[in-house]
Amino acid sequence: MNIFFILLKKEMKELVTRQLLFTIAVTLLVFHVIGKSVGSHNKSSAARNTIVLLDLDRSELSKRVIAAVTAGKTTLKPAGEATIAAALAAPENAGENSFMVIPAGLEAEVTAGRASSIEYYSRFRKQASGLGPAIAASRIRRTEQAATAEISAYLLGRGLPSLAPAFLRDPAPAKEFAVIDGRTAQVSLSQVIGFIQSQSFFFPVAVFFIVILSAQMIMTAVASEKENKTLETLLSSPLDRRLLVMSKLAASCLIATALSGAYMLGMRSFMAGVTGLGADPSVAVAAAGPALAALGLTMTSSGYFLIGLSVLFCILCALSIAFILGILSEDVKSIQTMMTPLMMPLMLAYLLPIFIDMSTAHAGLKFLLYAIPFTHAFMAPQNVMMGNISQVWWGIAYQAAVFAAFVTLAARLFSGDALLTLRLKWPGMK
DSSP H or E stretch at residue 52: strand 50-55
Above 50 in pLDDT, residue 32?
Answer: yes
**What is each CA distance from 409 to 37, 168, 227, 419, in whole angstroms?**
32, 72, 22, 12
Q: Is residue 277 classed as helix, strand or coil in its secondary structure?
A: coil
Is 38 domain-assigned?
Answer: no
> Residue 313 in contact with residue 400, Cβ under 8 Å?
yes
Q: Which pLDDT does position 297 carry in this prediction? A: 74
Domain boundary among 186, 221, 250: 186
Under the banding of pLDDT at 50, 70 and 90, the label for residue 37 is low
**pLDDT reported for residue 288:** 36
| φ and ψ at residue 178, rounded to 5 degrees | -110, 140
Query: Which among 310, 395, 388, 391 has a CA at the least distance from the CA of 126?
Result: 388
Residues 212 and 354 reside in one and the same domain: yes
* Same domain? 160 vs 71: yes
Q: How far apart are CA 253 and CA 235, in angstroms?
A: 22
Is the pLDDT score of 360 beyond 50?
yes
156/204 same-domain check: no
Last residue of a domain, one of 158, 186, 214: 186
Q: Could you give the number of structural domains in the chain? A: 2
428: pLDDT confidence band, cut at 50, 70 and 90? very low
User: Same domain for 182 and 228?
Assistant: no
Q: What is the pLDDT of residues 269-315, one digit of tens each?
A: 655 555 444 444 333 333 335 676 677 777 778 888 898 899 889 88
Report yes or no on 426 lying in a domain.
Answer: no
- Ranking 58-67, 109-118, 195-204 by mean pLDDT, the lowest is 195-204
DSSP string, 4-21: HHHHHHHHHHHHS-HHHH
Strand partners, 123: 179
Over residues 202-227, the pLDDT tens digits come to: 677 778 877 887 788 888 877 777 77
Mark whether 180 and 212 lie in a shared domain. no
Same domain, yes or no, for 338 and 404?
Answer: yes
Same domain flag for 270 and 375: yes
Q: Is residue 318 part of a domain?
A: yes
Tell me, yes or no, whether 268 and 329 share the same domain: yes
Q: What is the pLDDT of residue 287?
A: 35
φ, ψ (nearest 5 deg) of residue 185:
-150, 145
Strands 98-102 and 119-124: antiparallel
Structural domain containing residue 322: 197-419
Examine residue 286 and state whether it is found in any structural domain, yes or no. Answer: yes
Residues 209 and 79 in one domain: no
Q: Among residues 106, 99, 220, 255, which one has the least CA distance to residue 173?
A: 106
Q: How far apart are CA 37 and CA 358, in angstroms?
A: 12
Q: Which position has the higher pLDDT, 386 or 36?
A: 386
Residue 116 belongs to a domain = yes
Share of the chain above pLDDT 90, in %: 10
Q: Which residue has the higher pLDDT, 256 or 155?
A: 155
Note whether 180 and 383 are within 8 A (CB): no
Q: How far apart are CA 292 and CA 398, in angstroms?
A: 31
Considering the domain architecture, whether residues 79 and 220 belong to the same structural domain is answered as no
pLDDT at residue 404 is higher than 80: yes
Angle, vertex CA 378, rays to CA 388 and CA 245, nearest 5: 115
CA 340 – CA 392 distance, rounded (Å): 27
In a domain, 327, yes or no: yes
Residue where a domain terminates, one of 186, 220, 250: 186
Entry pTM: 0.73
- Identify whether 40 is part of a domain: no
Is the residue at 100 inside a domain? yes
Reply yes or no on whether the pLDDT at 406 is more than 60.
yes
Quote the mean pLDDT of the chain: 77
Same domain for 170 and 237, yes or no, is no
* Whether residue 380 sits in one domain with residue 297: yes
Tell me what the mean pLDDT of segment 337-352 comes to: 82
Lowest mean pLDDT among 123-127, 391-395, 406-410, 421-425: 421-425
Pick left, alpha or beta for residue 182 (phi over 0 → left; psi -120 to 50 → alpha; otherwise beta): left
Q: Flag whether pLDDT at 44 surpasses 70.
A: no
- What pLDDT score does 402 carry? 93
Residue 101: pLDDT band with limits 50, 70, 90: very high
Residue 89: CATH number of its domain = 3.40.1710.10
pLDDT at 161 over 60: yes
